[in-house]
Amino acid sequence: MDRTLDPGELKKAAAEWAATLVEDGMVVGLGTGSTASLILEPLAARIRQGLRIVGIPTSERTAEQARGLGIPLSTLADHARVDLTIDGADEVEIGTLNVIKGRGGALLREKIVASASARLVIVADESKLVDRLGRGAVPVEVVPFEWQSTARRIESLGGSQALRLRPDGGAFVTDGGHYILDCAFGPISSAGSLDRELNGIVGVVEHGLFLGLTNQVGLSRAGGVEVLVRSRRTDQRA
């Protein structure tokens, strides 16, 4: 009798596939989140077998885990170009492979590393696949000073917002010292327009729309890992 893999095993299989993409001598962006963290162990195992790489972590949490596994780390100050970044996503749009990221709280650093990368590979399970972005919240990282004013400007774009809180009730603070507003816009008809509008609001540091950056997605399904490739005919910022 065939044994059905549980979601955790499926995510692990996708993470192991992504780790095989790393080649000797690469500078590798290391993502943040539950799925991205699964990549570190198979990567560390390959390093113990002789693989030589340098990792660029996208959060303090990832850096701590990577150090514990013996993965050599560096920064973009020393490596201006990243060969490959492997990360997770909260939503993946079919066709464009545009994604929403940041519900784990590291969107600014994740986007900085992704933007410096020759290739961005996303690892996700099939529940993250959407026809159009916006099924859930778009995280928006904002300056703490008068953040309520920034929130009102975001609401003027047609979205509701909620300040992300820690379990103790205080405001969640990113590694960069900012707050996060989780903003619900509903299905986003033009991700490119929303990207530009959010970028134009004073007080917004960054947001979780990653447009035109993803090259491949390793999607974990019951039958194994399905590799999705971005459609070249799609305007990624439309």
229 part of a folded domain: no
pTM score of the predicted model = 0.91
Q: How far apart are CA 56 and CA 63, in angstroms?
A: 8
Q: What is the pLDDT of residues 39-96, one digit of tens each?
A: 999 999 999 999 999 999 999 999 999 999 999 999 999 999 999 999 999 999 999 9
Give the pLDDT confidence score for residue 5 in this predicted structure. Answer: 59
Q: How far apart are CA 105 and CA 173, in angstroms?
A: 8
**CATH number where 218 lies:** 3.40.50.1360
- Say if residue 126 is in the same domain as residue 219: yes
Give the pLDDT confidence score for residue 96 in this predicted structure. Answer: 96
- Say if residue 38 is in the same domain as residue 114: yes
Decide if 209 contacts 115 (C-beta within 8 A). Answer: no
Q: How far apart are the first and last CA of the chain?
A: 47
Angle, vertex CA 160, rays to CA 158 and CA 163, nearest 5: 140
Q: Which two tokens stand for residue 147?
A: 């953040």
| Domain limits for position 154 | 138-206
Give SS3 for 39: helix
User: Of residues 16, 91, 93, 110, which has the active-site annotation?
Assistant: 110
Q: What is the pLDDT of residues 212-221, one digit of tens each?
A: 999 999 998 8
230 part of a folded domain: no
- Say if residue 85 is in the same domain as residue 65: yes
Domain count, the chain: 2
126 included as an active-site residue: no
Give the pLDDT confidence score for residue 11 in this predicted structure. Answer: 82
* Residue spans of the chain under pLDDT 50: 1-2, 233-238
**CATH number where 173 lies:** 3.30.70.260
Closest C-alpha to 110, from 131, 141, 79: 141
